[in-house]
Structure 1
Amino acid sequence: MVTTSRKTHGCPAPSPEPEVSATTGEVPPAPAGENELTTLRDVYDALVGRTKMRAEIIDGRLIVSPLGTPEHQDMATTLAVVLRPHAVARGWKAVAGLGICTDGTRDPYEPDVAVYPPDAPRWGAREVYASGLVMAGEVVSAGSVGDDRDHKPGIYATARVPIYMLVDPVSEPARVTVFSEPKDGRYTIATTVDLGKEIHLPDPVDFLLDTAVFL
């Protein structure tokens, strides 16, 4: 199911993209039984490189959405900028927007912010395995409330991402939550503060963040 709303080695390579007609600009239909899109991952792979939309597979749904509002993008960029000096000092990368996938199923995600070592394992050139992340961060928007709050903690915990940070400006009051200590597909510790307060990101990040940077 595709809806519109607003991280193992040896997995098979995605099907090659069909050629586009030079005269009509259209993709000709594939012969019966050839290059058929039979899974959500097949559909996702066909979209990559052809659209600027953000696409993820969450809970058996292919979610295709545009980039967030300027406010959303500003918060994501701000978090990456604040974390970057601390990450660089530890030999890591801190970026806003990164293609990742889960080990095994290769379900794709694109956290708003990701912290990871340069040698984190990858599937192909584009996707970093979620299990190689140090931290994933999401900024909640009106269209991502359920996925960011309810589904992403379990997804990232199952992938053994040490820290998941949720910036939630649409809650009342606006809040920031840090999830840590993943075990058996769930985070065992969650710390929440109102936006504007300080919050500690535990090991391996070990960083005191003043969330007033989001105001």
Structure 2
Amino acid sequence: MAIRQHHTELVPSNDKRLPETARELFDALPELPGFRADVVEGNLIVSPVGTPEHASCAMRLLRALIPVQDREGWEAWTGNVDVCVEGPREPVEPDFVLAPPDCPRWGDRELRSSGLIMVAEVVSAGSTLRDRVEKPPLYATGGVPIYLLIDLLAEPPSVTAYSEPRDGAYLASGTVPVGSPLRLPSPIDVELDTSVFKV
């Protein structure tokens, strides 16, 4: 019912064509304060933004990587930039994005996945399947060099760095319990102190 309501608001009165795909519906969505929208495996997923603790985790990652950003001249965002996953052209809004300032875009709004350095997701109760299972092959398909999974809901809480994307999969990964150092591979090439994620 909500989608029908959105359709009537999103389609101009002189154009009766309704969005036919999740991508078209995403493109037609107005700003949704308090919500984030992703398209994963052809499905439009609209979910509330995370809790303050969730956002704090992404901010801690941002702060931990400031020396790398300064050294390389890279830009970083926490949950407020859209990424176009090249190949399926699926738009997602990662919890954290690291990219060079000249990262190519899809239109005006979305960064192209193949131009990124790293994306990170912070697992929440409503995103466990997406972040743990669906997002790794999606980001690998899009050519994102590093996918960082911060999983404080795992037992024990852990952080995983996926790298070497090829043919829709990451060929390398490393997982450590929160509190242990984790090597972020090239092009970042730095040891991340995961104790910053302890709550």
User: TM-score w.r.t. structure 2 length?
Assistant: 0.90
Q: Is the 8 A contact 1:78 1:213 kept in 2?
A: yes
User: TM-score w.r.t. structure 1 length?
Assistant: 0.83
Q: Is the 8 A contact 1:138 1:166 kept in 2?
A: yes
| Structure 1 gap ranges (5+) | 4-17, 19-25
Shift of 1:154: 0.2
Shift of 1:50: 4.3
Q: Is the 8 A contact 2:87 2:142 kept in 1?
A: no
Q: Is the 8 A contact 1:102 1:159 kept in 2?
A: yes
Q: Is the 8 A contact 1:55 1:62 kept in 2?
A: yes
Q: 1:160 to 1:172 in 2, by over 3 A?
A: same
Shift of 1:180: 0.7
**Out of 82, 86, 99, which is 1:103 matched to?**
86
Q: With a CA cutoff of 8 Å and minimum separation of 6, indicate the structure with the bigger relative contact order.
A: 1
- Equivalent-residue separation in structure 2 for 1:28 and 1:161 (angstroms): 32
Residues 185-206 of structure 1 deviation map (CA, whole Å, 9 limit, x = unaligned): 1011110000111100010000
Q: 1:31 to 1:77 in 2, by over 3 A?
A: same
Extract structure 1 runs of 4+ deviating beyond 6 A. none
1:141 is paired with a residue whose SS is coil
**Out of 106, 122, 144, which is 2:127 matched to?**
144
1:167 is paired with a residue whose SS is strand
**Out of 34, 55, 73, which is 1:91 matched to?**
73
- Which of structures 1 and 2 has the bigger CA Rg? 1
Q: Is the 8 A contact 2:87 2:141 kept in 1?
A: no
| Aligned pairs, number | 194
- Percentage of identical aligned residues: 46
Shift of 1:59: 1.4
